[in-house]
Structure 1
Amino acid sequence: MMEYRTSPLSSRDIPGVPHTVHVLLEGYCKDVADGLFQADGSVTLVLGPLTVLVDTAGPWSRDSLLESLQRRGVTPADVTHVVCTHGHSDHVGNLNLFPNAEILVSYDIWRKGSYVPHDFRGGEPYLLPGGEGLKVVPTPGHTGSDIALLVPGTSLGTVAVAGDLFEREGDEDTWRQLSENPETQERSRRELLKVADVIVPGHGPPFQVIRSEQETKRNNRLV
């Protein structure tokens, strides 16, 4: 059993060297009338040697996304990589805004007009070229081919932009019912919690992972 607790962050901006992380749009999921619900995925900007956008929200958030990028001084043409954690419409709805970027959607990598093979299914992480440690890792469970971006070198340590691997902080009451494979997702969650100091979930604000001293020592022995 892992020994950790979580704590909400007071800011959606995490400074650091070489990477800074900005949660541009905070995802949500809420019930409405007659069994319907509304949802949109978090959108996260990582600035450093590369300009990386993780998830693009739904098409209904197009204007909000563009305005958020503009406030950061970023244009769609500036984005070098788009990483979509999985293929649901509330995470990939604005891919067409970034035709110049290398694009990852789940286990597919598209670069300069061609698809590039990579063994995500075999557990192989993908290092973004020139990204100084930016790493995409497979995190299946919510769907069969989820991915997450690991961002080292921030003031809070390693940030994991996790998509719907984590719906929100304290999501134990909901994530299983939204999962295609809860057993696999449980394993993916445990593995990410070993390395992440901050998690940006798919439908809530970012939160910090605070491990016990014993857990930290155990993880260090595994590195």
Structure 2
Amino acid sequence: MNKITVLFDGYSEMLPNDPRGEVMKANCSCTLIQCKTGENLIIDSMDCWSGPKLLEALKFHNLCPKDINFCISTHTHPDHLGNNNFFLNARHIVAWSVSHRDEYFIHDFTEKPFKINENIKIIATKGHTLSCISVICENTNFDGKTVAIVGDLFEHENDITDPELWKSAGSEAINDQLRNRHKMSMIADYIVPGHGPMFKVTQEIRKKLEDDMKNADLNIS
């Protein structure tokens, strides 16, 4: 069984009437996977000001940075990679870039998933940025179900009923994002979004995302 722990739920909100202008307050969800095969993964290490609380969270789980084998950032925005430098023993997967120290491992995410082990793979989920990735973990502590950690493919669960929430957060490929949101709903039983708590994927959610995708395809044609 692979143990998934969301160390911190992400958040994002516009600050009303801020004298500095338009200001968004945001930080990402940060997830730990402890694999049954022994590997430890950190996904989206939050902004650099969150370092102390991330170290405390790892300590609570009897881990320290040297115990992390893979440090993964779902995309290259600063709130998703601010503490990657803690994890010097880890292989780093930052969007489509795979590296350790000064070695870079060539992998075409558009052609095939990157496999961590038999239960965990990383796939390309273009949308929020052109090089976004998502982590899919099977056989989890959530009743053996599949959990997807998707970064900002989903901002949070509420953006399913109000798509303007994810569109206003920025999308470099809206129609690809619509397709990948639906695709992920068909793969996963639970989703960890970029800026909100984990949620269960229901048939109603799958139908809504399918309709969103089909309506976008109709508008293109």
Q: State whether TM-score is above 0.5.
A: yes
Deviations 1:168-188 (A, max 9, x none): 002123111211111111111
What is the correspondence of 1:99-138 to structure 2 with a 5 Å cutoff?
Answer: 99-111=88-100, 113-122=102-111, 124-128=112-116, 131-138=117-124
Q: Is the strand fraction higher in 1 or 2?
A: 1
Residue segments in structure 2 that go unaligned for 5+ positions in a row? 208-221
Moved more, 66-75 or 168-177: 168-177
Supply the AA of the counterpart residue of 1:209.
V
More helix by share: 2
Tell me, yes or no, if structure 1 residue 170 matches structure 2 residue 158: yes
Q: Residue 186 of structure 2: SS of its match in structure 1?
A: helix
Q: CA–CA distance in 2 between the matches of 1:166 and 1:180?
A: 14
Q: Structure 1 stretch 46-55 or stretch 111-120: which is displaced more?
A: 111-120
1:140 and 2:126 correspond: yes
Find the partner of 1:209 among 189, 201, 205: 201
Aligned match for 1:44, one of 26, 31, 36: 31
In structure 1, C-alpha distance between the alignment counterparts of 2:50 and 2:136, rounded to whole Å? 25
Letter in 2 for 1:193: S
Structure 2 Cα separation of the partners of residues 97 and 133 of structure 1: 26
Whole-angstrom CA distance in 2 between matches of 1:139 and 1:115: 21
1:112, distance to aligned residue in structure 2 (A)? 5.7
Report % sequence identity. 36
How many angstroms does 1:81 deviate by? 0.4
Residue by residue, what CA displacement relative to the aligned partner does 1:95-145 show, whole Å, maximum 9, x if unpaired? Answer: 1000110110000011364101111133x11101xx332100100110000
- Identify the residue that residue 14 of structure 1 maps to in structure 2: none
In the alignment, the residues of structure 1 paired with residue 102 and residue 193 of structure 2 have an alpha-carbon distance, to the nearest angstrom, of 30
CA RMSD of aligned residues (A): 1.5
Q: Secondary structure of the equivalent of 1:192?
A: helix
Partner of 1:164, secondary structure, is helix
Do structure 1's residue 187 and structure 2's residue 170 form an aligned pair?
no
Give TM-score scaled by structure 1 length: 0.83
2:97 aligned with 1:97, yes or no? no
- Tell me the SS of whatever aligns to 2:182: helix
The higher-RCO structure (CA 8 Å, 6+ apart) is: 1
Letter in structure 1 aligned against 2:61 = R
